[in-house]
Structure 1
Amino acid sequence: MRRTIAQAISSGVLLLLAGTACTGGNTITRQPLPSRPASNAPDRTSAPAPSRAKAAAVGDTIKIEGTGSGEQLDVTVKQWLDPAGSANEFSGPQDGKRWVAAQFELLNTGSASYEDSPSNGAQAADTTGQRFPSTFGEITAGPQMPAATKIPPGEKALGWILFEIPKASEIATVQFTMNSGFANQTGQWSVK
């Protein structure tokens, strides 16, 4: 049976879309990097207790990878601000809402330059599971993370990412994903 060029192209597009939608491997990393090296000598004086990984919190660093070769960041939530105050009288949250903000430090530990809009890959989640994307505004705590951030290997960027949430929401976690949120690995920090 002969296929037309349009059918062949259509089949190829469907295969391409199916391949990209089924990549799997999406992970959320909640465990921070160790703050100091573990002891080499095991403790044999007591029975091992079941271990539970410590969830990352404000001040902790998580290593995450991007989609490109050599894309890797050590991401730290340096501070959490709830509420975040507007730096001027011309902007602020909408009625019934408030601003919250996370100060992120992005250290490029990869071999490739990191070029992205970090706020596109950040979101906050409240205790009911509602998720909130970042927003723009100037706050009194300091400068926002630049919209167009370029970090060469070995260098870092520091800035606030702002979220607008309902006044009644209690934020539980903040997340960051490279490549404007499209990378397979996401870092998550508890802010409660």
Structure 2
Amino acid sequence: QVLTVEKETKAPPTEVAKVEKETTVVKDQQQAESKEAERVRTATLEELEVAKKQEAEAKAWQEKAAGKFEAESIYFDFDKSSIRKEYRSVLEKKAEFLKDNTSIHIRIEGNCDKRGSNEYNLALGERRANSAKRFLVSLGISPDRMVTLSYGEERPLALGRGEDAWAKNRRDDFVITKK
């Protein structure tokens, strides 16, 4: 058997220096890439936070606007279903809101005072709701985004007898049904 002994070979000093320099360059590149990745990650997280905040603010504004939309009713004269002139601007504002919020659908609820039979008031409430719907359609709102419902005299805002109470009950209410 023949044994061979290999000599330990040492790289010349210039080679060692070259390898050390390359190692340093690679480490520096890795550190730079790591810092850049961290910077991008931090920037992305900050952008996400800003986007979440903006989304929350937009949602809060929309909920406030929706509440205002629902809060404003229109009122009718006794035994009438035609839109009074002073409420056309209310419907125009509602139409603008609906144009700005195209995913929203609404229910228009017709209401009456206690005078008249239940059947008559249900029919009158339906005519009132349909009158508002037609007006909104004339302003460019799709009829597919609106449904009408009559409560007749079943949901009074003001209890009691007399024109003051009755006038508050002859109305259309607007309810957002889909956002």
TM-score, normalised to structure 2's length?
Answer: 0.35
The structure number with the bigger radius of gyration is: 2
Higher strand share: 1
TM-score, normalised to structure 1's length?
Answer: 0.33
Higher helix share: 2
